[in-house]
């Protein structure tokens, strides 16, 4: 069927709205009409020279929509189901079997190349040339997508589906990092570096966990204001030389848990410095610059933990976040500003400049 999609034709080019041809779902796949899709910082990684995924590519990996067709062997997923799309995993490698699909042995091939695991992939352009359309098993910057049963989570019909997509990656990552990966305990102190979509989800989750002090650090005053509204007990402007010292003073010796969402080596080093002995810092920011540490930086029992997707199992964790949202304890919708899918380049600019925390793109006719 003919659908429309925002195609990245060149690493440096704006996204181009195009009509493309989408194949019918294969066994284990479903066709989803997208109601809304979040824009995550990871969607701009294919712009970096040498990155795994190469244009032409349809990015987008925080889709939400309605199942309109199913292939064979899709279990209990049915036409009409409202679904959130999350990351893909194989379901049978050791880490998947252990319940850690975010560390699936094929995570990078399935999620970060945009390529199908076998066969040509579901999309060709107007000239009949293939366009990579399996980014995070979905490529949701489109009116319709093919997704697999592993990365489709059915949700209740009364939810505002257009706004729910960001739960599938950025929001899940921030919240899962705090609630699952770091396992923040009630009464402990937490510092979150970077108050974007991921960092603010971490702040909300730290409040849910009952953390005593929640320190948010960012460069934008407006983001720090929102962090306070969402649960930060203290906010600090990043970039100053003494951020770690200020955090150690506030928390009488340092935080037990920190989360870096900036990927900046200097910020990570500050985060380590701000930990109390035995504290742990989680790293989720996509940084490519090297982190150089003296072994003594970790000598007091400090830990550094890389985290993908908040260690979450989407089929378990997304319904929990939705329950918290229903209870008014996880108001992630406050981060969202909607744009038509055709304004994707404006959304990208606004996310980069800091004007918008979490853009959500709405395809025409939704
Ligand atoms: N590991 C994962 O599974 C996963 C999942 C989703 C996103 N990510 C990555 O997480 C990162 C954050 O995503 P996001 O959507 O929240 O991005 P974002 O750009 O909205 O947020 C990053 C924030 O960091 C702040 N920042 C930058 N430099 C800083 C400094 N020196 N001190 C303090 N704050 C600083 C920015 O002002 C911004 O608010 C991205 O790199 C993204 O690719 C990782
Ligand atoms: Zn696997
Ligand atoms: Zn993401």
pLDDT tens digits along 283-336:
999 888 999 999 999 999 999 999 999 999 999 999 999 999 999 999 999 999
Q: Ligand 3 centroid vs 169 CA: distance in angstroms?
A: 5
Q: Is 61 in the pocket of ligand 1 (CB under 6 A)?
A: no
Q: Is 232 in the pocket of ligand 1 (CB under 6 A)?
A: no
pLDDT at 9: 98
Task: Count the alpha carbons within 13 Å of 352 in the hemisphere toward its beta carbon.
Answer: 9
Kindly state the average pLDDT of the residues 109-133: 96
Residue 22 has pLDDT above 90, yes or no: yes
Kindly state the average pLDDT of the residues 334-350: 98
Q: Ligand 2 centroid vs 26 CA: distance in angstroms?
A: 20
Identify whether the C-beta of residue 87 lies closer than 8 Å to the C-beta of residue 102: yes
Q: Ligand 3 centroid vs 214 CA: distance in angstroms?
A: 23
| % of the chain with per-residue pLDDT over 70 | 100
Q: How far apart are CA 68 and CA 82, in angstroms?
A: 10
Calculate the average pLDDT of the chain. 97
Which domains are assigned to the chain?
Answer: 2-168+331-362 (3.90.180.10), 174-307 (3.40.50.720)
R_g over Cα of the chain: 20
- CA-357 nearest atom, ligand 1: 20
Q: Is 170 in the pocket of ligand 1 (CB under 6 A)?
A: yes
Identify whether the C-beta of residue 301 lies closer than 8 Å to the C-beta of residue 281: no
Torsion of CA 33, 308, 267, 195, to 10 degrees: 40
Kindly state the average pLDDT of the residues 143-162: 98
Residue nearest (by alpha carbon) to ligand 1 atom 12: 261
- Rounded to the nearest angstrom, the gap between the alpha carbon of residue 274 and the centroid of all alpha carbons in its chain is 25
Q: How far apart are CA 286 and CA 308, in angstroms?
A: 10
Neighbours of 1 (CB within 10 A): 12
Q: Ligand 2 centroid vs 88 CA: distance in angstroms?
A: 9
Q: Write down the H helix ranges in the chain.
A: 94-97, 107-112, 161-164, 170-176, 197-209, 221-230, 243-250, 265-273, 314-326, 344-353
| Confidence class for position 163, pLDDT limits 50, 70, 90 | very high
The answer to whether the bond into 56 is cis (omega within 30° of 0) is: yes
Q: How far apart are CA 176 and CA 257, in angstroms?
A: 13
Q: Ligand 3 centroid vs 36 CA: distance in angstroms?
A: 15
Kindly state the average pLDDT of the residues 89-110: 98
Residue nearest (by alpha carbon) to ligand 1 atom 36: 194
Kindly identify the ligand whose nearest atom is closest to the C-alpha of 166: 3
Residue 366 has pLDDT above 90, yes or no: no
Q: At what angle do helices 265-273 and 243-250 cross, to 10 degrees?
A: 30
pLDDT at 118: 86
Q: Is 35 in the pocket of ligand 1 (CB under 6 A)?
A: no
pLDDT at 179: 98
Output 366 or 339, whichever has higher pLDDT. 339
pLDDT at 317: 98
Kindly state the average pLDDT of the residues 248-274: 97
- CA-237 nearest atom, ligand 1: 33
pLDDT at 112: 97
Kindly state the average pLDDT of the residues 138-162: 98
Q: SS3 of 238, please?
A: coil
Place of tokens 């603010």: 200
Kindly state the average pLDDT of the residues 129-155: 98
Q: SS3 of 127, please?
A: coil
Q: Is 41 in the pocket of ligand 1 (CB under 6 A)?
A: yes
Q: Where are the beta strands (DSSP E) in 10-78?
A: 16-22, 29-38, 63-70
Residue nearest (by alpha carbon) to ligand 1 atom 34: 218
Question: In this structure, is the dihedral angle defined by the CA atoms of residues 58, 157, 366 and 204, taken in order, positive or negative?
Answer: negative
Q: SS3 of 94, please?
A: helix
CB burial class (10 A; 0-12, 13-18, 19+) of residue 44? middle
Q: Is 331 in the pocket of ligand 1 (CB under 6 A)?
A: no
Q: How far apart are CA 12 and CA 252, in angstroms?
A: 47
Kindly identify the ligand whose nearest atom is closest to the C-alpha of 308: 1
Identify whether the C-beta of residue 38 lies closer than 8 Å to the C-beta of residue 362: no
């Amino acid at each position: 069927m003919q659908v429309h999609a925002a195609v990245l034709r060149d690493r440096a080019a704006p996204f181009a709205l195009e009509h493309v041809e989408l194949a019918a779902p294969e066994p284990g796949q479903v066709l989803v009409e997208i109601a809304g899709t979040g824009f995550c910082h990871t969607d701009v990684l294919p712009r970096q020279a040498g990155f795994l995924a190469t244009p032409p590519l349809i990015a987008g990996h925080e889709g939400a929509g309605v199942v309109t067709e199913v292939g064979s062997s899709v279990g209990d997923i049915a036409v009409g189901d409202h679904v959130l799309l999350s990351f893909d995993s194989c379901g049978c490698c050791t880490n998947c079997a252990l319940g850690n699909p975010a560390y699936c042995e094929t995570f990078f091939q399935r999620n970060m190349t945009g390529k199908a695991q076998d066969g040509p992939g579901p999309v060709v352009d107007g000239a009949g040339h293939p366009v990579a359309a399996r980014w995070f098993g979905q490529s949701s910057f489109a009116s319709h997508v093919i997704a697999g049963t592993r990365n489709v989570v059915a949700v209740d019909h009364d939810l505002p589906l257009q706004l729910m997509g960001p739960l599938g990656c950025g929001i899940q990552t921030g919240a899962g990092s705090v609630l699952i990966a770091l396992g923040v305990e009630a009464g402990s102190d937490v510092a979150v570096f970077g108050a974007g979509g991921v960092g603010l989800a971490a702040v909300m989750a730290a409040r849910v966990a009952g953390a005593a002090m929640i320190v948010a650090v960012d460069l934008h005053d407006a983001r720090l204001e929102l962090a306070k509204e969402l649960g930060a007990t203290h906010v600090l402007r990043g970039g100053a030389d003494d951020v770690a010292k200020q955090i150690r003073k506030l928390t009488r010796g340092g935080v037990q848990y920190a989360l870096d969402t900036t990927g900046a080596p200097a910020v990570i080093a500050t985060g380590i410095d701000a930990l109390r002995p035995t504290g742990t810092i989680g790293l989720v920011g996509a940084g490519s610059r090297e982190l150089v540490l003296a072994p003594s930086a970790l000598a007091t029992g400090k830990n550094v933990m890389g985290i993908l997707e908040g260690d979450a199992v989407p089929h378990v964790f997304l319904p929990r976040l939705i329950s918290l949202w229903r209870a008014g304890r996880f108001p992630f919708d406050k981060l969202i500003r909607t744009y038509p899918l055709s304004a994707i380049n404006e959304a990208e600019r606004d996310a980069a400049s800091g004007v918008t925390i979490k853009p959500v793109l709405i395809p025409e006719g939704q």
